[in-house]
Amino acid sequence: MKITEIRVYQIDLPLVEGRYSWGDGKFVEVFDCTVVELVTDSGSSGWGEVCPLGPFYLPAFGRGARAAIAELSPHLIGLDATETGVVNLVMDQALLGHPYAKSAIDMACWDLLGKRAGMPVCDLMGGRHGEAVALYRAISQESPEAMAAKIAKYRDEGYTKFQLKVGGDAKDDIARIKATRALLDRDEVLVADANTGWLMHDAARVVDAVSDLDVYIEQPCKTYEESLTIRRRTARPFVLDENIDGVHMLMRALSDGAMDVINLKISKVGGLTKAMQIRDLCVSFGVAMTIEDSWGGDIITAAISHLAHSTPERFRFSSTDFNSYVTVDTAHGGPKRQTGFISAANEPGLGVTSDVTLLGQPVAVYS
């Protein structure tokens, strides 16, 4: 399956809710999504996708993804797409960093590997664990009352796990956590995700004020060192996300006992190949995971479903069905949420295909 052509598509993904707001006053209304089609000499195409959470969440942005793919493409033409180790090595030698852009290529390679093997990607990643993957719903930052109302709505749709977007004013965030926890049953999960938005004194006030509540604290502060100080002064279960951007930070954080759970985003770490390495280390070290991506449409939701479904159930803290947050499809056959769960497809590869009827004409073609 030699790569003969790389087609790059750009598609805007508006939100069902109109706006997604999180810590430190950040928000996005339309996501800039890039879809990659790897055309091969076998006649099969592989599909990948990358969709940064705006240009100010991680060091990643839509036009950056397309520029990096342009830089990488001459190195990829002629490679066997199913040799994921070779493709990753070539990408890392050709371009330092830019893991999010490489993620879309790597995802498309896994799609082709599955098609060649005649197996779903989740079977190639270790096999399917359990019936379905439990999802969380992200609750965009609003007033405590509005967020509580959103939780009631999404609970009616079958979700049992909720991630509150906090990271704003500490007093308001305490009210957000208290108002929403009061609505939930004991077996429902609440995470307060500050997305790096608190200074240490803000975070200290919040964790003290919610010390008697069943709530997880996620990524309170900007740096790893700041977040570690908060980890050491609270007994609440603790999640690191933005700071765990690869295997080296994971090893450091494991050594420091810096978290109980990590948020593993496929594009943050450079694709499914590298995410699987981190996933397997987390399983060995007893760390549960939220398995997801920064954002995305049907192709990313499919990739999430395969990585998560091939992860032992005890280690699956939660995942995300991004294709239910946006108003347009990026592919046919994306996994659809059933109550609060998704499942990996049984078809070979990722189980999605796309075309110009959804994506429009490619914005770039490399051959």
Q: Which residues bind Mg ion (CB under 5 A)?
A: 193, 241, 263
| CB of residue 164 to Mg ion, shortest distance in Å | 11
Shortest Å, Cβ 177 to Mg ion: 15
> Closer CB to Mg ion, residue 83 or residue 142?
142
Of residues 102, 115, 165, 222, which has the active-site annotation? 165
Which CB, 73 or 263, lies closer to Mg ion? 263
Task: Compute the least distance from the CB of residue 292 to Mg ion, in Å.
Answer: 9
Q: Which residue is nearest to Mg ion (CB)?
A: 241
Strands 133-134 and 341-342, by their bridges, are antiparallel
Please report the beta strands in 251-363, taking only residues with DSSP state E, as ranges in sequence order.
261-265, 288-292, 316-319, 341-342
Output phi, psi for 165, to 5 deg. -85, 105
Q: Which is nearer to Mg ion, 36 or 303 (CB)?
A: 303
Tokens in use for 38?
């790897």
Q: Measured between alpha carbons, how far is 282 from 160 in angstroms, rounded to an integer?
A: 23
Instruction: Return the SS3 of 217.
Output: strand
163 vs 343 by CB, closer to Mg ion: 163
Residue 169: C-alpha distances to residues 90, 165, 194, 197, 210 (Å): 45, 12, 10, 9, 15
Active site residue 265: yes
Q: Which is nearer to Mg ion, 263 or 330 (CB)?
A: 263
Q: Is 263 or 267 the residue whose CB approaches Mg ion more closely? A: 263
User: Smallest Cα–Cα separation from 132: which of 345, 289, 296, 352?
Assistant: 345
Strand positions, DSSP E, the chain = 3-14, 20-21, 27-28, 30-40, 45-50, 133-134, 136-139, 161-165, 189-193, 216-218, 238-240, 261-265, 288-292, 316-319, 341-342, 364-366
Q: Are 128 and 297 in contact (CB under 8 A)?
A: no
CB of 296 to Mg ion, least distance (A): 15
Of the two residues 9 and 57, which places its CB atom closer to Mg ion in the complex?
Answer: 57
Q: How far is the CB of 154 from Mg ion (least distance, A)?
A: 17
- Give Cα separations from 285 to 43, 181, 333 (angstroms): 42, 30, 35
Which residue out of 26, 150, 265, 268 is catalytically annotated? Answer: 265
CA distance 123 to 310: 7
DSSP assignment of 10-64, as one string? EEEEEBTTS-EE-GGG-EESEEEEEEEEEEETTS-EEEEEE--SSTTSSS--HHH
CB of 194 to Mg ion, least distance (A): 9
> For this structure, is 336 an active site residue?
no
Active site residues: 165, 265
